[in-house]
């Protein structure tokens, strides 16, 4: 899904299939030269045909939304990343700071849409949420329909362009609803996103015109609850997956280290006991 573009001072480009951000420093006699790499975003394929979501969402909307809008966010995000990398390479802090809005807007546009496509499914494949997620929805909102009503009301009320979200609050262990303006990702509110609905006019206007409430009410018929599970709380269907997997790995490593140190302590204790017993036996002889 990603490829890394490495920009070196010599203006040579090399592409690696890697998943990590890295920095290589080369020393010469007078200068420290940095080659900055960044993860170039790529437009993901839709997991269904453009027309698969009809009659809730027209194929024409899906095609333009994915091929034009999402693609533009990807292109502009990569251009911003490259410009940022160049500025960082030169220690040009003014430009680095000035690039933040472009990174947030276009990067947000990319991650939000990449998640949005996965949140939808063909009407024929629709199934209700179940298991741990349903239990959490019922615990935190009373019922699925109560959550949907609250979500619809807050999302329809977004002023201008933005997104409605169902997220998980790691601090409280509860689900929560929120909205964001423009392309601000859900994570900027402190919630881990589980479900996002795009209420930019480009997402519905061709079909629903000015009737945003009808669009949001109808979209519940094509929400893909199948990918939600207990894991949805910690593994949302977006690019956070890698970071969270890394967190899991770190936790696992920490647990192994504790176990190893306990085992080591036990061995030391056994050795010491043996030593004391032998010393004691030697003394009484
Ligand atoms: Mn959109």
Q: In angstroms, what is the span from residue 186 Cα to ligand 1's centroid?
A: 14
Q: In angstroms, what is the span from residue 167 Cα to ligand 1's centroid?
A: 19
Q: In angstroms, what is the span from residue 243 Cα to ligand 1's centroid?
A: 24
Bigger pLDDT: 107 vs 260: 107
Give the integer Cα–Cα distance in Å for 135 and 217: 22
The pLDDT of residue 148: 98
State the pairing for strand pair 3-7/13-16.
Answer: antiparallel
The answer on 247 and 231 residing in a single domain is no
Q: In angstroms, what is the span from residue 60 Cα to ligand 1's centroid?
A: 14
State which residues form the domain around 275.
240-285
Q: In angstroms, what is the span from residue 272 Cα to ligand 1's centroid?
A: 67
The answer on 68 and 105 residing in a single domain is yes
Q: In angstroms, what is the span from residue 131 Cα to ligand 1's centroid?
A: 30
The answer on 253 and 231 residing in a single domain is no
90-144: pLDDT as tens digits: 999 999 999 999 999 999 999 999 999 999 999 999 999 988 889 999 999 999 9
Q: In angstroms, what is the span from residue 180 Cα to ligand 1's centroid?
A: 13
Q: Given a cut of 50, is residue 187 above it in pLDDT?
A: yes
Nearest one of 171, 226, 157, 153 to 195, comparing CA atoms = 226
CATH number at residue 114: 1.10.287.990
Q: In angstroms, what is the span from residue 174 Cα to ligand 1's centroid?
A: 27
- Helix axis angle, 131-141 to 144-156, nearest 10°: 70
The answer on 217 and 171 residing in a single domain is yes
Whole-model pTM: value is: 0.71
The pLDDT of residue 208: 98
- What are the φ/ψ torsions at residue 45 (nearest 5 degrees)? -70, 150
Among 88, 118, 148, where does a domain finish? Answer: 118
Q: In angstroms, what is the span from residue 19 Cα to ligand 1's centroid?
A: 26
The pLDDT of residue 226: 80
Bridge partners, residue 168, by sequence: 175, 192
Note if the bond before 55 is cis, omega within 30 degrees: yes
Looking at the chain, the number of H-run helices and the number of E-run strands are 9, 7
State the pairing for strand pair 192-198/162-169.
Answer: antiparallel
141-180: pLDDT as tens digits: 999 999 999 999 999 999 999 999 999 998 999 999 999 9
Q: In angstroms, what is the span from residue 47 Cα to ligand 1's centroid?
A: 16
The answer on 202 and 135 residing in a single domain is yes
Q: In angstroms, what is the span from residue 198 Cα to ligand 1's centroid?
A: 6
Bigger pLDDT: 16 vs 256: 256
The answer on 155 and 180 residing in a single domain is yes
Q: In angstroms, what is the span from residue 125 Cα to ligand 1's centroid?
A: 23
Bigger pLDDT: 247 vs 279: 279
* Strands of 13-16's sheet in order across: 13-16, 3-7, 32-40, 23-27
Number of domains present in the structure of the chain: 3
CATH number at residue 203: 3.55.40.20
The answer on 224 and 184 residing in a single domain is yes
The answer on 220 and 133 residing in a single domain is yes
Q: In angstroms, what is the span from residue 112 Cα to ligand 1's centroid?
A: 8
The answer on 284 and 203 residing in a single domain is no
Percent of the chain with pLDDT over 70: 67
Bigger pLDDT: 68 vs 237: 68
Residues whose CB is less than 8 angstroms from the CB of residue 105 and which lie 6 or more positions away in sequence, other chains included: 182, 183
Q: In angstroms, what is the span from residue 70 Cα to ligand 1's centroid?
A: 7
| Token digits of residue 92 | 């040009």
Among 86, 118, 150, where does a domain finish? Answer: 118
| Across 75-88, average pLDDT | 96
């Amino acid at each position: 899904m990603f490829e890394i573009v490495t920009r070196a001072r010599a203006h040579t480009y090399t592409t690696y299939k890697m998943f990590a951000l890295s920095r290589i420093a080369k020393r010469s006699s007078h200068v420290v030269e940095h080659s900055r790499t960044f993860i170039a975003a790529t437009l993901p394929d839709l997991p269904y045909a453009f027309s698969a979501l009809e009659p809730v969402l027209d194929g024409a909307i899906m095609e333009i939304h994915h091929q034009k809008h999402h693609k533009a966010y990807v292109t502009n995000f990569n251009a911003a990343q490259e410009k940022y990398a160049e500025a960082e390479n030169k220690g040009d802090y003014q430009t680095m700071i000035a690039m933040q809005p472009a990174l947030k807007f276009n990067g947000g546009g990319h991650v939000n849409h990449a998640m949005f496509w996965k949140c939808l499914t063909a009407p024929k494949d629709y199934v209700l949420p179940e298991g741990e997620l349903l239990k959490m929805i019922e615990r935190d909102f009373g019922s699925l329909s109560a959550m949907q009503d609250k979500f619809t009301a807050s999302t329809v009320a977004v002023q201008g362009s933005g997104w409605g979200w169902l997220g998980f609050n790691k601090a409280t262990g509860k689900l929560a609803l929120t909205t964001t303006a423009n392309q601000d990702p859900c994570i900027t509110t402190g919630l881990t996103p589980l479900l996002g609905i795009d209420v930019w006019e480009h997402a519905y206007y061709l079909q629903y015109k000015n009737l945003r409430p009808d669009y949001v009410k109808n979209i519940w018929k094509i929400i893909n609850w199948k990918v939600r599970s207990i894991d949805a709380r910690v593994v949302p269907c977006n690019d956070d997956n890698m970071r969270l997997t890394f967190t899991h790995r770190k936790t696992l490593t920490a647990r192994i280290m504790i176990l190893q140190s306990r085992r080591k302590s036990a061995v030391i204790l056994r050795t010491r006991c043996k030593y004391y017993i032998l010393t004691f036996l030697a003394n009484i002889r």
